[in-house]
Homo-oligomer: A and B are copies of this chain.
Amino acid sequence: MAQLANVHPATVSRALNNVSYVKPETKARIIAAAAELNYHADVFARSFKKGIRYTIGVVVPNVHMTIFDDIIQCIETKARALGYYILFCHTNDDPEIEAQCLNRLRAGFVDGIIIASTGQNNALLREIHLQGIAIVQIVRNHDEKLSSVVSDYEEACYKAVHYLYDKGCREIALINGPSLGRFAIKPYKTRYEGYKRAVNELGLRAICEFTDGVINSFASGVSCAKKLLDENPETDAIMTAVDVYGMAALRLLRERNIKVPDKIKVVSLTGYSVGNLLERSLTSFELSAKEIGDSATQIVIEEIEAKADNKPLVRHLTFAATLSERESS
């Protein structure tokens, strides 16, 4: 490349990056040569030299049938616009896989990490952060020392109970994910808190089932719904932590020929757009995947680019969920 244009590689770099003045005719010669050879500067080598990878690791539990499919698209779009790539990892909520992914990412491949963590690798995450890699938690804020972008699950769940109460429901049940003990995952825990707050306030009975094992499993949602109805035949509303559980509830209710919403109302607390695509559409508290994805990306890149200035930048953002009322309530 350099020899074709008859200049020094340094000049090629200067010309192609518009980084310092190059004599117009030299520049023209370089550009012509680049076109002829179909030359593309090796971005990898540049990143290596400059110490910036222009890459963000995104670590999420799953994208299949979860809000993360939407969030990851928003992250990628935003990152691309800002000149960054996305390195994608999914953990299935297995702490070991998560640690494995994080350890590979830290080894020089990314400038920053956006993660919805299991909460079991906080120490590792802090270590990686200290090493100089920007970190933003999304959806699950397991460590307040690290930036986070989440929804207000407590409030959404609290409001959902009130919403159903106002509709006349008095036996309001919750199908939730792991929210107690060592393996509790933050948003489930917080939803449970919002649920209890509302239920206590309104003098209702708490009826709660926790899916165990695999998170976001339809089958697990169905068995929770079964157990719920068998043990609490008076139930007149079912709130579910995520859409897939809501779909599971709708499914079981149809099998049992229980009219929705007349007899039992169903509300999902993590609406992602599937709720509106159903035969009987699902009322839900919608998170804005775009708000979460966009701001997480923004924050992680700001943190990356502030590194030079050595400002510590830990920020916490919380978005409200908005009620989308549909047919199931």
Contacts A107-B43, A244-B277 hold; do A89 and B69 have CB atoms under 8 A apart? no
Contacts A43-B104, A44-B109, A106-B40 hold; do A86 and B85 have CB atoms under 8 A apart? no
The digit string for A149-161, where 1 denotes a CB below 8 A from any CB of B, is: 0000000000000
A40 touches B103 (CB 8 A): yes
CB distance from A211 to the nearest CB of B (A): 14
The answer to whether the Cβ of A197 comes within 8 Å of any Cβ in the partner chain is no
CB distance from A175 to the nearest CB of B (A): 15
Closest partner residue, chain B, to A43 (CB atom):
B107
For residue A244, which residues in chain B have a CB less than 8 angstroms away from its CB? Answer: 277
The answer to whether the Cβ of A90 comes within 8 Å of any Cβ in the partner chain is yes
For residue A88, which residues in chain B have a CB less than 8 angstroms away from its CB? Answer: 58, 72, 76, 86-88
Selecting from A22-30, A246-254, A306-314, the interface stretch reads: A246-254
Selecting from A59-67, A165-173, A178-186, the interface stretch reads: A59-67
The digit string for A22-61, where 1 denotes a CB below 8 A from any CB of B, is: 0000000000000000101111110110000101001000
Among B43, B89, B280, point to the contact of A80 (Cβ < 8 A).
B89
* Interface residues of A, dominant DSSP: helix
The answer to whether the Cβ of A10 comes within 8 Å of any Cβ in the partner chain is no
Which A97-134 residues sit within 8 Å CB-CB of chain B? Answer: 100-101, 103-104, 106-109, 127
Most buried by B among A45, A277, A278: A277
For residue A7, which residues in chain B have a CB less than 8 angstroms away from its CB? Answer: none
B41 touches A107 (CB 8 A): yes
The answer to whether the Cβ of A70 comes within 8 Å of any Cβ in the partner chain is yes
Q: How far is the CA of A76 from the CA of B89 in the complex (A)?
A: 7
CB distance from A17 to the nearest CB of B (A): 13
Instruction: Count A-side interface residues using an 8 Å CB cutoff.
Output: 52
For residue A202, which residues in chain B have a CB less than 8 angstroms away from its CB? Answer: none
Contacts A42-B108, A43-B107, A251-B278 hold; do A70 and B64 have CB atoms under 8 A apart? yes
Contacts A65-B274, A88-B88, A89-B76 hold; do A43 and B218 have CB atoms under 8 A apart? no
For residue A86, which residues in chain B have a CB less than 8 angstroms away from its CB? Answer: 87-89
The answer to whether the Cβ of A273 comes within 8 Å of any Cβ in the partner chain is yes
The answer to whether the Cβ of A13 comes within 8 Å of any Cβ in the partner chain is no
For residue A47, which residues in chain B have a CB less than 8 angstroms away from its CB? Answer: 44
A73 touches B62 (CB 8 A): yes
The answer to whether the Cβ of A279 comes within 8 Å of any Cβ in the partner chain is yes
For residue A85, which residues in chain B have a CB less than 8 angstroms away from its CB? Answer: 87, 89, 104, 109
The answer to whether the Cβ of A324 comes within 8 Å of any Cβ in the partner chain is no
For residue A87, which residues in chain B have a CB less than 8 angstroms away from its CB? Answer: 55, 85-88
The answer to whether the Cβ of A298 comes within 8 Å of any Cβ in the partner chain is no
B43 touches A109 (CB 8 A): yes
The answer to whether the Cβ of A276 comes within 8 Å of any Cβ in the partner chain is yes
New A-B contacts (6) at CB < 8 Å, excluding given A254-B279, A254-B280: A42-B107, A64-B70, A64-B73, A76-B88, A251-B278, A279-B279
7 smallest CB-CB distances across A and B, nearest first, come from A44-B108, A42-B108, A88-B88, A43-B107, A64-B69, A69-B69, A63-B69
